[in-house]
Structure 1
Amino acid sequence: MDIQIRDERSGDTAPIHRVIEKAFLNAPHTDHTEQFIVEALRRSGALTISQVAIVDAEVIGHVAISPVILSSGTLGWFGLGPISVLPKFQGAGVGSKLMKSSLAALEAKGATGCVVLGEPDYYGRFGFVAVEGLVLPGVPAEYFQALSFGPAFPRGEVAYHDAFAV
């Protein structure tokens, strides 16, 4: 399977919405608002990285990265998610390609680091670790992880963009 990763283009909005909706349809720990979060991030201009995975000219995956705010005032940090792959393509390496490409693009933009809320075993494969003192209020510490592009991790509470409250 030839998987191509590229930045979102005009005309990708509806296919991205469909991919996110289908990817999270039967997922645990979701309130099924992920596609609306991405739309709200896009409308507000806060979709820093938006990449799609393409197979045979079809959008089969998507990843979003947006700015986060740290209570410590540390700048340059972003939040990864949602990341979505159509169910029939899950487990085929699509998510891994999206992760690697989007993180490389984020680092190339000069970001300091990235946080993610998700499965430690999955995100740990990409260098994410739980960091003592870096918290997302209301979630178990082991599921909130960070990847620093520099030598250190910040401390403090993290707040995602307002779009996540949609």
Structure 2
Amino acid sequence: MRIRREQPEDVTAIHAVHRAAFAPLTPAGAPVVEGRLVDQLRAGPWWLPQFSLVAVASNGDVVGHVVATRAVLEPAGTPVLGLGPLGVLPAWQRRGVGSALMDAVLSAAQACDEVLVGLLGDPAYYRRFGFVPSVQHQVVAPDPAWGPAFQVRLLGQAVGGGTFRYAEPVQHLG
């Protein structure tokens, strides 16, 4: 398996990855929104192509995807990254694909001098990548109900606190 930047020909496979990865977590009868969300993110000014990465199996199949897009800390307008979605085909889960994607996107973010990454997810999973509850860095979640599931990772120097604002398509998911 290797990790590389998303290419235009990967769009359909990225949809399939997110549909398969998130279907078990989606209420019966509800649409899986993650594939459409990536399309909406891709179409806006918050899209940063260097942070849309795919995991590719030795046969060339896309088996995982992660994306980070421009977000801000308000009121100062500090540019930060919002991570997600991260999806891995079920047959490839628990085989290190998600970890490899996370390590790659965080390394890319650090190499590009990004200062902070925020995400909504399972603290038990994301702790291994250095994420902590956002309140530890005075960052307020977009939705206070998210509690400790909203996490951040500093990539360099400390940043002033503030309210985290995802890219518009993510903000309007709720």
Structure 1 length-normalised TM: 0.91
**For the Cα contact (< 8 Å) 1:131–1:145, is it kept in 2?**
yes
Gaps of 5+ in 1: none
The aligned counterpart of 1:125 is: 128
Q: Deviations over 1:69-98 (max 9, x none)?
A: 211315231011000000111100000000
Aligned-residue RMSD, C-alpha: 1.8
The answer as to 2:36 corresponding to 1:36 is yes
Distance in 1 (CA, whole Å) between partners of 2:96 and 2:160 is 31
Q: Does 1:113 align with 2:116?
A: yes
The question of whether the paired residues in 2 share the 8 Å contact of 1:135 and 1:141 is answered with no
Q: Is the 8 A contact 2:68 2:83 kept in 1?
A: yes
Between the aligned residues of both structures, percent identity stands at 34
Does residue 59 in structure 1 map to residue 65 in structure 2?
A: no
1:84 and 1:154 map into 2 onto residues whose CA distance is 30
Q: After superposition, give the CA deviation of every residue in 1:12-58 in whole Å (9 maximum; x if it has no partner).
A: 11111111111100026896211111001111142321000001200
Aligned length: 164
Q: 1:23 aligns with which of 18, 21, 24?
A: 21
Aligned counterpart, 1:135: 140
CA contact (8 A) 1:129 1:147 kept: yes
The answer to whether the 8 Å contact 1:72/1:155 transfers is: no
Alignment partner, residue 89 of structure 1: 92
User: What is the CA distance between 1:107 and its match in structure 2?
Assistant: 1.2
Tell me how far 1:143 sits from its aligned partner. Answer: 0.5
Q: Which runs of 5+ in 2 are unaligned?
A: none
Q: What is the TM-score when the length of structure 2 is the normalising length? A: 0.87
CA distances 1:108-137 after superposition (whole Å, capped 9, x unpaired): 111111011000011000000013231212
| In 2, Cα distance between equivalents of 1:161 and 1:32 | 19
Q: Which residue of 2 aligns with 1:9?
A: 7
CA contact 1:46–1:66 (8 Å) conserved in 2: yes
C-alpha contact (below 8 Å) 2:26/2:32 kept by paired residues: no
**Worse-matched range after superposition: 104-113 or 137-146:** 137-146
More helix by share: 2
Aligned-partner Cα distance in 2 for 1:111–1:149: 7
Residue 154 of structure 1 and its aligned partner are, at CA, apart by 3.2
